[in-house]
Chains A and B, each alone.
Chain A
């Protein structure tokens, strides 16, 4: 078995002149054409657009102006506005929409010379943990196509796992990078809120949404985060900080690293095989010199309820702009104005989006606001305080990314609450604004990947990536592919 391609290995090939950007792009496009029908990971391909970008990358290299990543292919989640491509966000509502501007992350991706392979499938408006809510069809897990890839960045995760992209962008509101990374056996990092620009990233829940990279290895994630991160004056929640090299701690030994293990993350809902894999991973960290200490996040149980108040509340408002007036879908037939709104939104949105708009509208309503929204915001502060207290005893926090391996397709159709509860370990990190990542840590009894979640202090991405990289030097879970 040969090692799967990584961002790093492809960058080396390009630098050595062993392949051109056009050749890499053509190679990947051929693989995508062969495999995408079975997986539905990509929702838009545009060979001419891809090859134009690849040729530009080769021209830069010929001029000696290539950067580290120039010519490396990447897939972008369909949530990022990108000129030359549609931005449908998994929704019928935006089937006809193509943005006249680039998202902040896309601008930085272009500036780094990354070549867009295509646009990846996602849960509609990033609402979902299975990628089944996409108007453009469910994505299938490359490890077992009867299973979901996770969501909402399921297309990105599946594409990487299936070798249809070496890297992809994702977004994470309550786990949408980490959970599909775990389900598909890849690496992905949600940075600290404010590190990656939200400009041009179609909003689900503004105070929680954060873009980030997904790739096979932690090292690739670090290289990509170097490209994606940075202040953007068009996003008022973007943070102005000195530029940072996220690869700086990759080589750092783990001796003395204190890993906090929250006892609440190993409770009842967790399956035995996930527990075994995560505990084995923690044992590996100990052999690398780290020490594990038990910590407590007493308010963990409140995270999912608080998340499912705050996120839908913001979503109900964020999605009001999809009204059929200026762009996007409009019902073909309607009576008066109110009827136009009602029919447009009834026909343009799917069931999960409507469910969350209803929840969000309800919790913001007069008479309920204090009991739900305000209360959830208080819980949010308490959850952040829990993490601050825990970080007084440790440098990183680790545990499972999800309580189970990937669901079967259709498993949660009748019970959305079961799906929401699967977000039990991921949502609190968004509520606290902390950086979180997931890396492959073995397999469950069903042969599906298990993810290890790593959580850092605010802006401690480099340390997280370093620990993950050291783990990946000692293990080969991240090199496994569905074919071998």
Chain B
């Protein structure tokens, strides 16, 4: 069996929890982690006679998203009731949008893969609609009974539906990551996947090239990129095996079990609910005036794609670097702050090394210490100062790392102060470097001999010795040049 003979078709439905202070149809708080049912008002409890009132802030976030993906923000959209019984669904229906969603169409450009194999792809979006979340059923700690926590009931969600434009788990993950970055970029969702603020359902099918679309199965509720990848890969493999074994794929909803790495069936098409959608008579159609959309547009931040293009055209960053810097709004903010501090005259020259530092040393260190870039101990100004000193040859790149550590540990207010205090200024004066070279050559006759016998490696060992003896301060370029001269002479 080989996957080479198969085409994979994937579409994603993503539930993003909107970061409003209160719920979508009631005034209750949406804060995470309160005592069970402490944030459940009569509306959230669906007591008799209560009514929903639309939260304007949730609509505003939907507009922001629509603008971010170049979609149509519907001037008129309709809330519908999705009817089914479940203990954590207090009204016996979920208020959602069905036939006329608030956001229609749009695209998201994703970058897949790395290095030479990297490519871009435009994923089309079908729609995004506003709806309310359900509560939670708690099946532990109740002596065989179930508990219901309605704190989450009524939390605003934007369900974002893609077209089935992805053809591998890598593309699906790239889409999910890009979407995750975008909703945080335009500040409509905190993106916290552990708390369930961003969760994906993946519709997966396979077919032989040229054949019509296969039957899809929907993997529900994937709340990490890793699970998304694993679940899709497992599902693809499973479907191919089924078909190659002569079975037909039945439409179904499945769950992914992270422990076993497998998907298992939750319900078949036959068990599917008839949700009996109809327009909610408690809510008039949602009418969004063009003026409101304009107002939201004016307050929009520069979008990642636009910023990435600008970083390439104005500062000569590569597409790869520009994508990395704009992968999150915080990283982009950090980078553009640092550029601004470097000043217009220097920015073009410093942009590339700054990008390397931000995505290299800084990212690695933040990652290691599990910190967000917004809480970086090394400020954009400090990093800009450091990179400027490397660029003007005051220090070497490797001494730069030493200075970075010192800044991280708060050993000085800026790179210059640390360079001065610790005497790290690069030595470029030949008269200061030559004695060190002489000492090293005298102490390593074997390496000298090997080099003369044609071993290039021996030369590098000697450079290393000189650098070490200069405590890293000697200019590597200078050392190279002088050493060559002496050995060749």
11 residue pairs from A and B, CB less than 8 Å apart = A89-B48, A200-B50, A202-B48, A202-B49, A236-B282, A236-B284, A316-B83, A317-B92, A323-B92, A326-B148, A327-B45
**Shortest distance in angstroms between B188's beta carbon and chain A's nearest beta carbon?**
23
Residue in A203, A319, A326 whose beta carbon sits within 8 Å of that of B49 in the complex: A203
Question: From B41, which residue of chain A is reached at the shortest CB distance?
Answer: A101
A87 part of interface (Cβ distance < 8 Å): yes
One of B47, B49, B90, B282 near A237 (C-beta < 8 A): B282
User: B368 contacts the other chain (Cβ, under 8 Å)?
Assistant: no
Could you mark each residue 269-292 of chain B with 1 if its beta carbon is under 8 Å from any beta carbon of chain A, else 0?
000001011100111100000000
Q: Which of A203, A205, A207, A317 sits near B93, CB closer than 8 Å?
A: A317
Output the least CB separation between A111 and chain B (Å): 18
B49 in contact with A201 (CB, 8 Å):
yes
Kindly name the residue among A80, A236, A323, A361 whose own CB sees the greatest number of chain B CB atoms within 10 A: A236
Contacts of B412 in A (CB 8 A): none
A-B contact count (CB 8 A): 99
B359 within 8 A of A: no
Residue A228, interface by CB 8 Å: no
Is B353 interfacial (CB-CB < 8 Å)?
no
Q: With A and B bound together, what is the CA distance between A313 and B83 in angstroms? A: 11
Interface residues of A in 156-207 (CB under 8 A from B): 198-203, 205-207
Q: Which of A9-17, A262-270, A300-308, A362-370 interfaces with chain B? A: A362-370
Q: Does B46 contact A (CB under 8 A)?
A: yes
Judge if B461 is at the interface, Cβ distance under 8 Å. no
Of chain A, the residue at the smallest CB distance from B272 is: A366
Residue A199 contacts which of B45, B50, B54, B274 (CB distance < 8 angstroms)?
B50
- Partner-binding segment picked from A92-100, A131-139, A271-279, A413-421: A92-100
Answer yes or no: B51 CB below 8 A from chain A CBs. Answer: yes
Number of interface residues of A (CB under 8 A): 43
Q: Is the CB of A199 within 8 A of B51?
A: yes
Contacts of B278 in A (CB 8 A): 313-314, 317, 364, 369, 373
Complex contact B45–A341 (CB within 8 A): no
* A206 nearest CB neighbor, chain B only: B281
- Which of B91, B93, B274, B276 has the most A CB atoms < 10 Å from its CB? B276
Residue A241 CB within 8 A of the other chain: no
**Contact of A320 with B83 at beta-carbon distance under 8 Å, contacts A313-B278, A361-B276 already known:** yes
Q: Is the CB of B81 within 8 A of A317?
A: yes
In the complex, A337 has a CB within 8 A of chain B = yes
Question: Ordered nearest first, which 5 A-B pairs have the shortest CB separation?
Answer: A320-B92, A207-B281, A364-B276, A206-B281, A200-B49
Main secondary structure of the interface of A (DSSP, over half): loop
Task: Verify B48–A321 contact, CB threshold 8 A.
Answer: yes
Cα A96 to Cα B46 with chains together (Å): 16
A227 at the interface (CB under 8 A from B): no
Binding site for A on B (CB under 8 A): 42, 45-54, 81, 83, 85, 87, 90-93, 148, 274, 276-278, 281-284
> In the bound complex, how far is the Cα of B278 from the Cα of A373, in angstroms?
9
Known A314-B281, A373-B278; contact A327-B47, beta-carbon cutoff 8 A: yes
Q: Given the known inter-chain contacts A235-B51, A320-B92, please indicate yes or no for A366 contacting B274, CB distance below 8 A.
A: yes
Beta-carbon contact of B45 and A326 below 8 Å? yes
Complex contacts, A202 vs chain B, CB 8 Å: 48-49
Chain B residues, Cβ within 8 Å of A383:
none
Pair A320/B87 contact, Cβ less than 8 Å? no
- Closest B residue by C-beta to A324: B87
> Would B90 and A321 count as touching, CB distance under 8 A?
yes
Q: A206-B282, A316-B276 are in contact. List 11 more A-B contacts (CB 8 A).
A: A99-B47, A201-B49, A207-B281, A320-B83, A321-B46, A321-B90, A323-B85, A326-B90, A364-B276, A366-B274, A369-B278
Closest partner residue, chain B, to A80 (CB atom): B49
The docked-state distance in angstroms from the alpha carbon of A200 to that of B51 is: 8
Closest chain-A Cβ to B485's Cβ sits at a distance in Å of 85
Partner of A236, one of B54, B83, B277: B54
A101 / chain B contacts, CB cutoff of 8 Å: 42, 47
Alpha-carbon distance A297/B51, docked complex (angstroms)? 34
**Contacts from A to B (Cβ < 8 Å):** 80-81, 87, 89, 94, 97, 99-101, 103, 198-203, 205-207, 233-237, 313-314, 316-317, 319-321, 323, 325-327, 337, 341, 361, 364-366, 369, 373
How far, in angstroms, from A97 to B42 measured CA to CA in the complex?
13
Give min CB distance, A238 to chain B, whole Å.
9
Smallest CB gap from A377: residue in B: B279
Task: Choose one: B49, B53, B277; the contact of A103 (CB below 8 Å).
Answer: B49
Chain A residue numbers with a CB within 8 Å of B54 are 236
With contact pairs A202-B48, A314-B281, A317-B81 given, residues A236 and B53 touching in the complex (Cβ less than 8 Å): yes
**Residues in chain B near residue A87, CB distance under 8 A:** 48-49
What's the minimum C-beta distance from B395 to chain A, rounded to whole angstroms? 64
Whether the Cβ atoms of B83 and A317 lie closer than 8 Å is yes
Q: How far is the CA of A101 from the CA of B51 in the complex (A)?
A: 13
Q: Which residues of A sit under 8 angstroms from B47, Cβ to Cβ?
A: 81, 99-101, 327
In the complex, the chain B residue whose C-beta lies closest to that of A89 is: B48
Asked if B274 contacts A365 (CB within 8 A), the reply is yes
Question: A341 to B85, Cβ gap below 8 A?
Answer: yes
Residues of B with C-beta under 8 A to A198: 49, 51
Report yes or no: B49 in contact with A320, Cβ–Cβ below 8 A. no
Which of A103, A205, A236, A361 lies in contact with B52, CB distance below 8 A?
A236
Which residues of A sit under 8 angstroms from B282, Cβ to Cβ? 203, 206, 236-237
Q: Is the CB of A199 within 8 A of B46?
A: no
Question: Known contacts A236-B283, A325-B148; is A81 also within 8 Å of B49 by CB?
Answer: yes
- How near does chain B come to A197, taking the closest CB pair, in angstroms? 9
Which residues of chain A have C-beta atoms less than 8 A from B53's C-beta? 233-236
Taking a contact as CB atoms under 8 Å apart, the answer to whether A337 and B87 are in contact is yes
Query: Smallest Cβ distance from B134 to chain A, in angstroms?
Result: 13
Chain B hits for A206, CB < 8 A? 281-282
> How far, in angstroms, from A326 to B87 measured CA to CA in the complex?
9
- In the complex, A341 Cα to B54 Cα: how many Å? 30
Cβ of B90 and Cβ of A94 under 8 Å apart?
A: no
Q: Which residue of A lies closest to B274 (CB)?
A: A366
Is the pair A365, B276 in contact by a Cβ cutoff of 8 Å? yes
Q: Are B51 and A236 in contact (CB under 8 A)?
A: yes
Residues of B within 8 A of A80 (CB): 49
Among residues of B, the one whose C-beta sits closest to the C-beta of A102 is B49
Other-chain contact of A81, B45, B48, B52, B277 (Cβ < 8 Å): B48
- A100 proximity list for chain B (CB < 8 A): 42, 47
Task: Provide the residues of chain B in CB contact with A201, threshold 8 Å.
Answer: 49
A313 to B283, CA, bound (A): 16
